Amino acid sequence: MTRILIVECKQEISSFNPKPSQYENFSIQHGDALLDQRGLNTEIGGALTIFDARDDVEVVPAFGARAGSAGLLSAEGWQQLSAECLAHIDANLDGIDAVYFCLHGAMGASGELDPEGFLLSEVRRRVGPDMPIVISLDLHGILTDRMIRQINGLAIYHTYPHVDFADTGQRAARLLLRIIDEGLRPGIVRVPIPALVRGDECITKTGCYGDLIREAQLLERSGKALAAGIMIGNPFTDVPELCSQVLLTFDGSAELPAQEAEGLAQRFWDRRHRLQGKFISLAMAIEQARHMTGPVAFTDAADATSSGASGDSNLIIRALIEAAFPRRCLAQIVDAGAAATAHAAGVGATIQVTLGGETDPDRFRPLAVEATVTTLTNGRARLETMGMPLDAGPTAILVIAIPNGGSLTVVVMSRAVSLFDRAMYYASGLNPQDFDVTVVKSPHTEYPMYDAWVDQNFNIDIPGATSANLPTLGHTICARPMFPMDDGVSFTPKATVYPAA
């Protein structure tokens, strides 16, 4: 019987969000509670379908921790989280033959800018040099040298917007079982690329990044690589090894995998200008929307909570009010104080509150409004894509009459949660298709959610902790020069080959 230890620790942070995240941000699962992910579109859920199909495999779930994207994890939060994770690993190591570790890759903590590298190093130290370790990662992760030196292989998301969570877990599980069954000693080829990218061409179904991902998938399917992927990092996680990179897991000679990886990296570099965001000013977007007959979306990628932003930007709300926008608008914001005031007043009450600027006041000035409380909820929902729970805390739906204009319906949440689908709108009894303008706090969503039915989706260029206008963010830690923050960046692909861990 092959016994496989399963561990999970995932968070994506924005270094530009001024509010640190804490241990309390994490949803923790111990032992068999991890098995509750069976049947879900998660990496663990996908891996379990592969392991469960084998009579000679026993899974040993140790520890799981997931947190929504947020600011840098505090030193105290990291100390508690890492100690708990390692304690549960230690308690389950007896008789283990292999490890599957589900990670994101864009964690960051005060005093430890490579949390995943630390955890993997500690696991490797505990299990010794010969035990297979395979990890899965978000393509927005940062795979560091320290991480690679601890592992035997990895599986990376192949889709953005992400839909292949379970598929990635399945690929990681199959790779781990191949290493065990066939006695493989894989190596990893890595080609870092000094480029950070955002924008529509990153959508893998339609953009040129997807074309390159499909080349990586062909390497897997043709047998030229055991696993292949292209990571574009999280531009908002300002850490030393932030970059884009090509990764191939291989068995045998490294010569061909290195050539393939360098070729993919060069083709990525050649497309770097296309892989940038295209923006419209907020004033122009409002003016265009004013004269359009169909519904539109305003994408507020700069305040994308799924990428680590605070969620308390009120810039679009303020501009719609000041422009006396004439139709029905729908938006979301994180403001615990306003939500608490609404809950205290009750449904039907008219309240005077400020919205926004609660977490990030240097960017967003609180906006005073008069609003009617129409609905109060507990802020709980489930993501459309994954089925995983959301908990935004006490949540209120406020309706603001725009002077000399239309109306603004705002879902006011107490805590930031991922808003890359419509789950929080639906949980509040609201359907975006009933409105003329919907604010979407995510750089992209799956096509059917908005783009399939809006006349236009405007990508608004405004400040925020996750602005796709990357040179405006102010990176101070990542390696430089880096495109597009610096001019005249040059690149010649050079593969680094990591032998078996």
Q: Is 21 in a helix, a strand, or coil?
A: strand
Other CB atoms within 10 A of residue 464 CB: 30
Contact 306, 385 (CB under 8 A): no
3-state SS, residue 63: strand
For 187-218, write each residue's pLDDT tens digit: 999 999 999 999 999 999 999 999 999 999 99
For 374, residues 6+ apart whose C-beta sits below 8 A from its C-beta are 347, 348, 397, 398, 399, 409
When pLDDT is averaged across residues 358-374 and rounded to a whole number, the result is 96
Check if the beta carbon of residue 51 is closer than 8 Å to that of residue 4. Answer: yes
Question: How many Å from the N-terminal Cα to the C-terminal Cα in the chain?
Answer: 23
Note the pLDDT tens digit of each residue in 207-251: 999 999 999 999 999 999 999 999 999 999 999 999 999 999 999
Instruction: Identify the band that residue 499 occupies on the pLDDT scale cut at 50, 70 and 90.
Output: confident
The DSSP bridge pattern shows strands 244-250 and 227-231 to be antiparallel
pLDDT in tens, 40-93: 999 999 999 999 999 999 999 999 999 999 999 999 999 999 999 999 999 999
Residue 274 clears pLDDT 90, i.e. is over it: yes
The H-or-E segment that residue 399 falls in is strand 395-401
Please count the residues of the chain: 501
Where are the alpha helices (H) located in 233-392, listed in sequence order? 255-270, 282-290, 315-322, 336-345
Q: Is the pLDDT of residue 501 over 80?
A: no
CB 140 within 8 A of CB 229: no
Indicate if the pLDDT at residue 439 is higher than 90.
yes
| Entry pTM | 0.92
Residue type, 59: V
Averaged pLDDT of the chain: 97
The Cβ-side half-sphere exposure at 27, using a 13 Å CA radius, reads 12
Structure tokens at 242: 């932030």
Average pLDDT rounded to a whole number, residues 336-352: 98
The alpha carbon dihedral of 484, 489, 493, 495 has a sign of: negative
Beta bridge partners of 334: 413
**If pLDDT is split at 50, 70 and 90, which confidence band does 388 have?**
confident
What is the structure's pLDDT at 171?
Answer: 98
> Percent of the chain scored above 70 by pLDDT?
100
What are 120-146's pLDDT values in tens digits? 999 999 999 999 999 999 999 999 999
Nearest of 211, 185, 440 to residue 313 by alpha carbon = 440
Confidence of residue 386 (pLDDT cuts 50, 70, 90): confident
Residue type, 176: L
In this prediction, residues 257-281 reach a mean pLDDT of 97
User: Measured between alpha carbons, how far is 193 from 483 in angstroms, rounded to an integer?
Assistant: 9
Q: What are the CA-CA distances from residue 488 to residues 268, 274, 393, 482, 483 (Å)?
A: 17, 16, 47, 9, 8
Would you say 400 and 369 are in contact if contact means Cβ atoms under 8 Å apart?
A: yes
- Per-residue pLDDT, 385: 80
With pLDDT > 90 as the criterion, what percentage of the chain qualifies? 99
Does the pLDDT at position 500 exceed 80? no
Quick one: three-class SS letters along 125-151? HHHCCCCCEEEEECCCCCCCHHHHCCC
Computed on alpha carbons and rounded to an integer, the radius of gyration of the chain in Å comes to: 23
For 161-186, the pLDDT digits (tens) are: 999 999 999 999 999 999 999 999 99
Element (H, E) at 184: none
